[in-house]
Amino acid sequence: MSNDTGDTVVGRTPRLPHAPVDPNADTVLPGAPVKAPETRRTEARTKAPRPATSIPVYSFRIGGLKLPIGLDRPARIGRRPSAPRILVGPAPRLVRVESPQREVSATHLELRQTGTTVVVTDLSSTNGTTVLVPGSTPRKLRQGESVVVSPGTLVDIGDENILQILPLDRRPS
């Protein structure tokens, strides 16, 4: 009988692949969206495409950028943002910001629209996230904490990177 274990390595656990980072991310302008990594799916798991709906979509803007970024899918913001290892739902939009003082974590914050609300989640950032909802005092989020915000909310992630949650865009998506 031949020994058929040529490819078997005993005592090693396979490493899970890290979520890929967009190779063009270093050439993206501050605050410009970075294309989320494509995920491979087998035909058995592929879902039928969703029909176009007229659900209103929130958006946000970073600093003085005129171009708003839609929340039709989650957005992950940071110096070198990456997608989570396990995706649930649509792949997130990766948004790279400049942080010369390195106050912004690699993947610092997630913005997600759930129904008609926007949820801000600190992704265990080192220097924290400060949220200023109109009409209230600034609140510093704990690592991993989420909070529901309203249009007009300002979110400071450090190094003069301030996000503004914009009102609903009622155009069909």
| Terminal Cα-to-Cα distance of the chain (whole angstroms) | 63
Would you place residue 8 in the very low, low, confident or very high pLDDT band (cuts 50, 70, 90)? very low
Q: What is the structure's pLDDT at 55?
A: 62
Q: What are phi and psi of 27, to 5 degrees?
A: -100, 5
Average pLDDT rounded to a whole number, residues 22-36: 43
Q: What is the structure's pLDDT at 1?
A: 53
CA angle 27, 71, 156 (to 5 degrees): 70
How many Å separate Cα 167 from the centre of its chain? 19
Would you place residue 2 in the very low, low, confident or very high pLDDT band (cuts 50, 70, 90)? low
pTM equals 0.67
Q: What is the structure's pLDDT at 169?
A: 72
* Sheet arrangement for strand 129-132: 69-70, 57-62, 161-169, 154-158, 129-132, 139-141
As a whole-number percent, the residues of the chain with pLDDT over 90 amount to 53
- Burial of 16 from C-beta contacts in 10 A (0-12 / 13-18 / 19+): exposed
3-state secondary structure of 26: helix
Q: What is the structure's pLDDT at 68?
A: 87
Task: Give the whole-angstrom CA distance, residue 18 versus residue 138.
Answer: 35
- Count H helices, E strands: the chain? 0, 12
Q: Which CATH class is domain 58-169?
A: mainly beta
Q: What is the structure's pLDDT at 97?
A: 94
Would you place residue 3 in the very low, low, confident or very high pLDDT band (cuts 50, 70, 90)? low
For residues 35 and 134, the model is more confident at 134
- What are the residue ranges spanned by the domains of the chain? 58-169
Q: Would you say 113 and 167 are in contact if contact means Cβ atoms under 8 Å apart?
A: no
Write out the E strands in the chain: 33-34, 57-62, 69-70, 75-78, 93-96, 109-114, 117-122, 129-132, 139-141, 146-149, 154-158, 161-169
Would you place residue 34 in the very low, low, confident or very high pLDDT band (cuts 50, 70, 90)? very low
Q: Please give the mean pLDDT across all residues of the chain.
A: 77
Task: Give the whole-angstrom CA distance, residue 12 versus residue 144.
Answer: 32
Q: How does pLDDT run across 36-88, given as a tens digit for each residue?
A: 444 444 444 445 455 445 567 889 888 766 678 999 999 999 999 999 999 98
Q: Would you say 149 and 165 are in contact if contact means Cβ atoms under 8 Å apart?
A: yes
pLDDT at 106 over 80: yes
